[in-house]
A and B are shown apart, each in its own frame.
Chain A
Amino acid sequence: MTEKIRKSNSNINEVPAEEIDDLVVGKNDHAENLKADLDQLLDDIDSILETNAEDFVNSYVQKGGE
């Protein structure tokens, strides 16, 4: 592999330009974007959330593990 992986991960702050689109990272304006992203998510969230939250939460049961 892994020329690519080596390149993109050799320093976590130095992502090659061609990978930027994949990473959805804007460097300097990232912090300022966070609140705008959160507001946007809250606008959209009812279409993402399970329609009946109470039923969904109650029926999510996981027995047995590890």
Chain B
Amino acid sequence: MALPKVCGIETEYGVISRGFDSSPIVASSVLVNAYAGAFKQSIQWDFGDETPDRDARGFSLEDAFPPEVETHMANSVLTNGARYYVDHAHPEVSTPECRTAMEVVLYDRAGEQIIRESMQRANALLPEHHEIITYKNNSDGKGNSYGCHENYLVSRELPFGQLATFITTHFVTRQIYCGAGKVGSELFSERSDAVSYQISQRADFFEEEIGLETTIRRPIINTRDEPHCDPDKYRRLHVIVGDANMSEYATYLKVGTTAIVLAMIEDGAFPTHLIVDSPVSTIRTVSRDASLASPIRLRNGTLKTSLEIQFLILEAAEKYSTHDGLKSVCSAEFPNEGAEILRLWRETLTNLSNGGVGSFDTIDWLAKMSLINAYQDRNDLSPKDARLKALDLQYHDMRPGKNLSDRMNLRKLVAHSDAELARTEPPQSTRAYFRGECLKRWPSLQLVCFTFGTSACSRSRKFRSNDVQNFRCVLISQLRWRYDGENS
């Protein structure tokens, strides 16, 4: 039986300062501190369990460059269970652990609201004509990329090689509905204008099939082995290959389909003949083929298009759903989540096989492409015109009134009022509820001590669970508080 697909997203935002010179690290810190300070969120993250250099394949490469843990940057845990901090040179929001794709969409939207609120608060403190601006995208168009990473709980029992082989097929082809679109190429081997428009922001940056790095020689499968829970039972699959989405539907499909495919792999239900022969070249081919018609070679020698491969995965998922109704991606709150994802997945692929009609208001790369094409036609511009790249960037501009995706009338899944609520309220479905509630009740909380089962453990700020599903009720029955604060 597949494990419940606890999942979440970490989004790094692009950041610039205008009217004054500032390093991106300082600008990012100003944003985080403007937000955390305003809401008295002074609690920091506990790095005790961080092991970014541990490789899921069970060995270490001498020439690998694992990311370093940065403990000195602005860093805050929020009452909704999220983490908001400076990662390298970007402000980054990690959603709380969520139980369904819909919850991830809700907390990703809450993350956008956090960023917008931060910009407003920071800019109110700056002198006139000084401004910090953020972008929810993944590249600067000059070969520099920053990530939107996903995380999924998977069973430790599943051999990692098997997991990597099958999920690669999904990662290479899912971009046809979760790509965010990009003007130009960022491959070192070719000119920027060698490609006028491609499906994915990120595809140009992947050079390896599998590996530990996230900033150089990026791999399609990242092997970081850092589960943040019982390492004997669980893995956290750290996915670095995706784009940040403005469309809520695209985020929903990205997380929802991936959670289902992972459950299928755990239960031996993934079609084993669907193994892509050359994933690194294929991920670029798919990104550069808006017709979705280019043939992809599978390891068994057959040729299929990205769309055909996605239809085959979907058909296997529909068959798989008849076993237990996709319980691993549903929750008590969202009991029909699996069926909804399958329905939308089929509708989207059907639309894509008809030129995208019906999905221009749900798929980012289609919406952005329609805007760029229409602007180019109306003004009779060359494909190299800088205004087209400016449109691309401003599709992701987080300033209200300047964000072009806001003006595209994309279909919504989350009401603005719900996203605002999710900015402070944790999800009730995972251990993030406990983390968030602690911080809500005791904002100056620094340390929580509790006994768990028969072995006593003491953790500061981060909480370990041996049973993710039942964590809430376990805590209520077995938790012991020791709170050294003014409200005790």
Residues of A within 8 A of B (CB): 1-2, 4-6, 8-12, 15, 19, 22-25, 30-31, 33-34, 37-38, 41-42, 44-45, 48-50, 53-54, 56-66
Per the bound structure, the CA–CA distance linking A34 and B385 in Å amounts to: 25
Per the bound structure, the CA–CA distance linking A46 and B145 in Å amounts to: 28
Q: Is the CB of A10 within 8 A of B334?
A: yes
Q: Is the CB of A48 within 8 A of B140?
A: no
Q: Counting CB contacts under 8 A, is B425 at the interface?
A: yes
B383 to chain A, nearest CB (A): 14
Per the bound structure, the CA–CA distance linking A59 and B149 in Å amounts to: 26
Q: Is the CB of A23 within 8 A of B12?
A: no
Which B residues are CB-close (under 8 A) to A11?
A: 336, 340
Q: Is the CB of A5 within 8 A of B421?
A: yes
Q: Counting CB contacts under 8 A, is B467 at the interface?
A: no
Q: Is the CB of B240 within 8 A of A66?
A: yes
Please name the 3 residue pairs, one residue from A and one from B, whose CB atoms are nearest each other, closest first. Answer: A65-B146, A64-B89, A53-B390
Listed by A's residue number, 26 A-B pairs whose Cβ atoms lie within 8 Å are A1-B422, A2-B428, A4-B415, A5-B421, A5-B422, A9-B334, A10-B334, A10-B336, A12-B413, A19-B417, A22-B417, A25-B411, A30-B411, A41-B404, A44-B407, A45-B375, A45-B404, A48-B407, A53-B389, A60-B140, A61-B142, A64-B24, A65-B89, A65-B147, A66-B88, A66-B149
Per the bound structure, the CA–CA distance linking A25 and B88 in Å amounts to: 38
A sample of 10 more A-B contacts (CB under 8 A), given A1-B418, A66-B12, is: A9-B102, A9-B334, A45-B375, A48-B407, A57-B393, A62-B14, A62-B146, A64-B88, A65-B87, A65-B215
Q: Is the CB of A65 within 8 A of B404?
A: no
Q: Counting CB contacts under 8 A, is B214 at the interface?
A: yes
Q: Is the CB of B358 within 8 A of A31?
A: yes
B482 to chain A, nearest CB (A): 28
The secondary structure that dominates the A interface is: helix
Which B residues are CB-close (under 8 A) to A63?
A: 24, 89, 144
Q: Which one, B89, B386, B412, B428, contacts A23 given CB within 8 A?
A: B412
Q: Is the CB of B361 within 8 A of A2?
A: no
B201 to chain A, nearest CB (A): 12
Which A residues are CB-close (under 8 A) to B140?
A: 60-62
Per the bound structure, the CA–CA distance linking A34 and B411 in Å amounts to: 11
Q: Is the CB of A59 within 8 A of B16?
A: yes
Per the bound structure, the CA–CA distance linking A31 and B362 in Å amounts to: 11
Q: Is the CB of A60 within 8 A of B16?
A: yes
Q: Is the CB of B358 within 8 A of A65?
A: no
Q: Counting CB contacts under 8 A, is B195 at the interface?
A: no
Q: From B213, which residue of chain A is reached at the shortest CB distance?
A: A66
Which A residues are CB-close (under 8 A) to B375?
A: 42, 45
Q: From B137, which residue of chain A is reached at the shortest CB distance?
A: A62
Per the bound structure, the CA–CA distance linking A4 and B425 in Å amounts to: 12
Q: Counting CB contacts under 8 A, is B106 at the interface?
A: yes
Which B residues are CB-close (under 8 A) to A53?
A: 385-387, 389-390
Q: Counting CB contacts under 8 A, is B316 at the interface?
A: no
Which A residues are CB-close (under 8 A) to B16?
A: 59-60
Which B residues are CB-close (under 8 A) to A6?
A: 333
Q: Is the CB of A65 within 8 A of B408?
A: no
Q: From B142, which residue of chain A is reached at the shortest CB distance?
A: A61
Q: Counting CB contacts under 8 A, is B90 at the interface?
A: yes
Which A residues are CB-close (under 8 A) to B422?
A: 1, 5
Which B residues are CB-close (under 8 A) to A66?
A: 12, 67, 87-88, 145-147, 149, 214-215, 240
**Given the interface contacts A9-B102, A60-B14, A64-B88, does A37 sit within 8 Å of B421 by beta carbon?**
no
Most chain A beta-carbon contacts within 10 A, residue among B141, B390, B401? B390
Within 8 A of A (CB), among B21-54: 24
B418 to chain A, nearest CB (A): 5
B241 to chain A, nearest CB (A): 12
Q: From A48, which residue of chain B is reached at the shortest CB distance?
A: B402
Most chain B beta-carbon contacts within 10 A, residue among A30, A44, A65? A65
Q: Is the CB of A57 within 8 A of B141?
A: yes
Q: Is the CB of A41 within 8 A of B90?
A: no
Q: Is the CB of A61 within 8 A of B144?
A: yes
Q: Is the CB of B408 within 8 A of A37?
A: yes
Which A residues are CB-close (under 8 A) to B407?
A: 37, 41, 44, 48
Which A residues are CB-close (under 8 A) to B412?
A: 23-25
B72 to chain A, nearest CB (A): 15
Per the bound structure, the CA–CA distance linking A8 and B105 in Å amounts to: 13
Contact with A along B448-473 (1 / 0, CB 8 A): 00000000000000000000000000
Per the bound structure, the CA–CA distance linking A9 and B103 in Å amounts to: 9
A27 to chain B, nearest CB (A): 10
